[in-house]
Amino acid sequence: MRASWILALLALGSAVGLAVPAHHALATDLWPGLADALYPHRAMTQDGTMIKLGTPLSAEDAALVPITLHIAPAKSPTDPDRITKVTVVIDNNPSPMAAVIELGPKAGITTLETRVRVNQATNIHALAETASGKLYVSVSYVNAAGGCSAPSATNLDPNDPQIGQIKVRQLPPQYASDDPRRKEAVVMIKHPNNSGMQMDPTTHLYIPARYVDSLKVMQGSDLLFAVTGGISISEDPNFRFDYLSNGTSVLHVAAGDITGKKFAKDWTLNPAI
């Protein structure tokens, strides 16, 4: 992952139902500039067969907006059309880059769900890059407001030992598959993911930003996925995903936040699920 892309996008942001609605006409369309900051002068194809973003049209809670990435399955780890990376951009958020997600070559991930903050009505883009360097994009509109400044539901003390606790749940796959290796799990991290825009209701001072900026999920020595995150990921980050089991009995989850704190968990898998 290129750190320069993330820095450029953050700087640009400072300067300026799973139904998938079409690109929504907003008063100011920031996407051309954001796209050029990520991949300067690169062509992007809108093709729902390679990457498809699902969001609600209108969010019940702007601080907890569910999104789903539908990712084209790869034919093999060396498939030139294998999606290697997905970048989620919330165009009108103060820091548009929500997450850069790197996919392991043997992971077999075809769906990945998480929750994000939406600060105002916006288009959200999911930008996928293949092993051969092709770019595909999917866009969805969400009508919401105030998600980045909404107070946390569980405003933990910065030294609370609960911060960084990791849980893993195994789930029956929600999509039919003929491959018995296909499994599904959700990784959950207890963390306030403070954006720096929330106000303490008692002191009326802004709560310092503190959010999970890295997450890596390994299946033995094989990478399932790794996330570089920003302020737009909701509190208590969780990622639900499917994957192809390589027979390893343990998932290793490692995460860190912008204060330098590191969190890790080894989870023994139940082979019956």
pLDDT at 172 over 60: yes
- The pLDDT value recorded for residue 90 is 97
Residue-wise pLDDT tens digits, 5-25: 444 444 443 333 333 444 565
- The pLDDT value recorded for residue 268 is 96
pTM for this model (two decimals): 0.89
What single letter denotes the amino acid at residue 47?
D
Residue-wise pLDDT tens digits, 87-131: 999 999 999 999 999 999 999 999 999 999 999 999 999 999 999
- The pLDDT value recorded for residue 24 is 61
Tell me the two tokens of residue 40: 């300067």
For residue 235, how many C-alpha atoms fall within 13 Å in the half-sphere facing its CB? 21
**Of 155, 167, 153, 163, nearest to 212 (Cα)?**
163
Residue-wise pLDDT tens digits, 139-162: 999 999 998 988 877 766 777 889
Q: In what order do the strands lie in the sheet with 166-171?
A: 51-54, 65-71, 111-116, 238-244, 182-189, 166-171
**Of 115, 123, 109, nearest to 57 (Cα)?**
123
**Of 27, 2, 32, nearest to 12 (Cα)?**
32
Residue-wise pLDDT tens digits, 219-248: 999 999 999 999 999 999 999 999 999 999
- The pLDDT value recorded for residue 25 is 58
The answer to whether 152 and 206 have CB atoms below 8 angstroms apart is no
pLDDT, average across residues 42-69: 94
pLDDT at 1 over 50: no
What structural domains and CATH numbers belong to the chain? Answer: 3-146+155-268 (2.60.40.2470)
Choose the most confident range, by mean pLDDT, from 168-182, 198-212, 237-251. Answer: 237-251
- The pLDDT value recorded for residue 28 is 74
Distance, CA of 145 to CA of 249 (rounded, Å) = 42
- The pLDDT value recorded for residue 157 is 74
